[in-house]
Amino acid sequence: MYGLLRELLFTLTSADAHALGIATLEALEAAGPLREALAARLAPPPSLATSRMGLRFPSPVGLAGGFDKNAVAPRALAALGFGFLELGTVTAAPQEPNPPPNLFRLPDDRALVNRLGFPNDGAAAVAARHARTRSDGPMPVPVAFSIGKSRAVPVDVLPAVVDDYLASFRAVRGVADFVVVNVSSPNTKGLRALQGPELARALLQALREESERGERRVPLLLKISPDLAQGELDALVTVVQETRLDGVIAANTTLSRGGLVSRPSVVADIGVGGLSGPPLRGRVLEVLPRLRAALGADATLVAVGGVSDAADVRRCLDAGADLVQLYTSFIYEGPGLPSRLARELAR
């Protein structure tokens, strides 16, 4: 049934289709009885539950950051059968998206390209919205918030960058089960420089120390780029170990355009931006065993990039991941995907 709906949605621009999808989820968010009935029907089988970072995940299949940037529909998304959600990315300062067009489809590759650049209402406003959601009762799944650098903060002024991330962390820590530190989006100028060992160490150490203040330590994961060379990856993993982060999400979108089947002229017309979907699958599966070997059994590894079916989930888990995330396949396969993957995994 979604195939026909997708054909209609794909007649819209990617941005308009996404806005329509979010509006539909917001309506479901407000329709409590309908949402609860849907959640009961689509709940993952109990056999899939897993525990990491002191949290119970009903399923290892979660939603990646970037879909619900402003935390407007978390209960609706959880009702679709996701085992956890990553909301945001949020920044300390509210900001608009990069100039349109900034979101594109590559249907022949079942991929997306975006250069949105962390549009959001600001960490404090988004956290307040989620606090109101939580006031209606506990969330049925763990909820993470992704934090990123505000566009207005220059990346070469490290104290300002650290303060900017700390402001976002402080805003969301009270409503987040864990926090994802995004230093790897290709769509904020200079952001990936924060993956260099010296800058990463300063930022992650400050966040780690902040996470230990207060009554509850908030787990921290680092989201890395798939475009890191092996030496760069090894150096960053060393920083993760030194700063005692809880784990890594591999990986963010890529600047590479290798291996695409879409016409080169179509790809060239789109221009710059982060590519997501099946073209990332090989790189993610290559990186996961190396991360597991380096970080050990206690680290939490989350795979994201090209996960489209239960076989992809199983390959990621076998390669060392504890959890997996979806985004692009959710667009192409529709809202029934998380519950379908859960049923197939259970079988």
Residues serving a catalytic function are: 185
Contact 148, 188 (CB under 8 A): yes
Which one, of 248, 237, 235, 245, lies nearest residue 322 by Cα? 248
**Using an 8 Å Cβ cutoff, are 146 and 163 in contact?**
no
Is residue 160 within 8 A of residue 153, CB to CB? The reply is yes
Tokens 């402003």 found at: 70
Beta-bridged to residue 105, according to DSSP, are 112
Side-chain-side CA neighbours of 80 within 13 Å: the count stands at 23
Residue 68, φ and ψ in degrees, nearest 5: -105, 85
SS3 247: strand
What is the identity of the amino acid at 108?
Answer: D
Q: Is the dihedral of CA 270, 272, 277, 280 positive or negative?
A: positive
Number of neighbours of residue 344 by Cβ within 10 angstroms: 13
How does DSSP assign 282-299, residue by residue?
HHHHHHHHHHHHHH-TTS
Rounded CA gap, 211 and 218, in Å? 5
CB-count exposure of residue 155 (10 Å: 0-12, 13-18, 19+):
middle
What whole-number distance in Å separates Cα of residue 12 and Cα of residue 29?
24
Q: Mark out the alpha helices in the chain (DSSP H runs).
A: 2-9, 14-30, 32-42, 74-79, 123-134, 158-172, 197-211, 230-242, 264-270, 281-295, 310-318, 328-333, 337-346
Q: How far apart are CA 303 and CA 324, in angstroms?
A: 5
